[in-house]
Copies of this chain bind each other. A is one copy, B any other.
């Protein structure tokens, strides 16, 4: 089973690595990170690079496509060659997925029109503008299209996908292997839960 992760300059690396750590453990998974060109790709803060082992042009199909998010999605949203590639891979895929603002890329490629979808909570208006019906859920499945909320939500999305694809017992074994028994020290992981001053700090509306 071919799992393809699209990476790009100024991605948010946990968006990609959360699903990677789950999906790479699926039975028979062959994972490929690809980018515009093969080679190192820097993340949003610039202090970490992942290596793309393939160029997008070398990848013609995927069983599972994962599009992570990050500030760099702004460039991808305006890049028609990326949209064409995403649509071409989607025509071959069993699952087309996104994490965080990766849903803006699926949306820009026209894959979310009329569908329920999610993404980073700060990007909901942008997502709606692309024709999606935005819902404030952590993981949203519409047929084979699966979108996840911000950054860390990719772990939840990938575990759900693991269960749909390979069955509950394998998904649970992966969850146990990555010891995903989350115990956040604060209740601050969504704009509904976080203290108002913390939300204001990020939105600039204080």
Closest Cβ–Cβ distance, residue A13 to chain B (whole Å)? 5
Q: Are A190 and B186 closer than 8 Å at their CB atoms?
A: no
Residue of chain B at shortest CB distance from A158: B185
Closest Cβ–Cβ distance, residue A41 to chain B (whole Å)? 9
In the complex, the count of this chain's copies comes to 2
Residues on the B chain within 8 Å of A173, using CB: 188, 198, 201-202
Instruction: Tally chain A residues at the interface, Cβ within 8 Å.
Output: 65
Q: Are B49 and A152 closer than 8 Å at their CB atoms?
A: no
Q: Are A190 and B182 closer than 8 Å at their CB atoms?
A: no
Those of A149-184 within 8 Å (CB) of chain B: 149-153, 155-156, 159-160, 163, 168-169, 171-173, 175-184
Can you identify 25 A-B contacts, CB atoms within 8 angstroms?
Answer: A12-B21, A14-B178, A17-B17, A17-B48, A24-B45, A24-B48, A32-B47, A48-B51, A138-B181, A138-B183, A139-B185, A149-B181, A155-B182, A155-B184, A156-B182, A156-B184, A159-B186, A172-B188, A172-B195, A172-B198, A176-B199, A176-B202, A180-B182, A181-B190, A181-B193
